[in-house]
Chain A
Amino acid sequence: MKKQSMFPLNHVLGFVLSIALTVGAVFIVYQTDFSASVKMNIIGTLAIFQALIQLIMFMHITEGKSGGINIINIAYAIFLAIVVVAGSIWVLTTGHAAM
């Protein structure tokens, strides 16, 4: 455990950052004239930062001693994300209706 201070600086910082990233994404989609694919790339990048902030500032992956379980947990989560996202895209874009 890190030392506990009264003011939850990390949490507030994380909170502000995640709101900023979300608002940023909305702004880029609605208020800019980038092409669709550029927009996608930008908000995709923002999403990755968002995930990192959540993991480090709120879910404390860098702390704690149950490292083994955390690793399995993250590996499984990544596996699931790939199955759900890549699997869905594969299934839905290769069918007869899409060709």
Chain B
Amino acid sequence: MSETASLMVEAIGVRKHFAGVEVLKGVDLKVGRGDVACLIGPSGSGKSTFLRCINHLEKHDAGELLVDGQLVGYELRNGKLYERNDKQICAERARIGMVFQRFNLFQHLTVLENITMGQVRVLRVREDAARARARELLERVGLAGRDGYYPAQLSGGQQQRVAIARALAMDPKLMLFDEPTSALDPELVGEVLDVMRDLARSGMTMIVVTHEMGFAREVANTVYFLDAGIIEEWGDPREVLAHPSSPRLQNFLSKVL
């Protein structure tokens, strides 16, 4: 099991259906510690659903999903699978950061309060320590001094960088990004990708759903092409993006590039 030990995320035949429609039809994926995997694919192919299964916002129906060697949402004891209770699931989730397409910053809280919320309420960090950490993270995402702003007073790119800081404040071992730049004006995409690039360089394990092929080519160790609930093609981004072998990926790339 030496390979499993070096993996942060391992999905084996993960399936998920909504009301009779199968959205994930057996997804296999492996992400090593410190690696960056990019997930690309047409709209409705199940990318968000798969990410949400990883932090158990959705429950997968079948297959195995392991994060850091642990089954997501279940515990294996004496050959039986025990469903974890809400508290255990929440504790697991706290260590998996998630960044959303529409930022989802807490609208009624200032930038600083957004970043301290999880530390104080979930990790039980003292208020002043949480603030200090929040300021540190704001500086890291290039927003030092914006502590007192409300989300509505920031640009989209700034909001997304605060959202990244909010996730980082939980000291995650894995970061999930669901189209983090899709809701941004083109000139703001770069500032968010820069932060993500730094994060990857610092050794964070990341799974990024994106349409930014340049970012995938440059940063990702592996790129996965998800189409209609199946990983249609995967591999080294320079290889897969430059010479796609499946006609579906060829078709997809011709549309996004």
Q: Do A and B come from one complex?
A: no
Binding site for A on B (CB under 8 A): none
On A, residues with C-beta under 8 Å from B are none
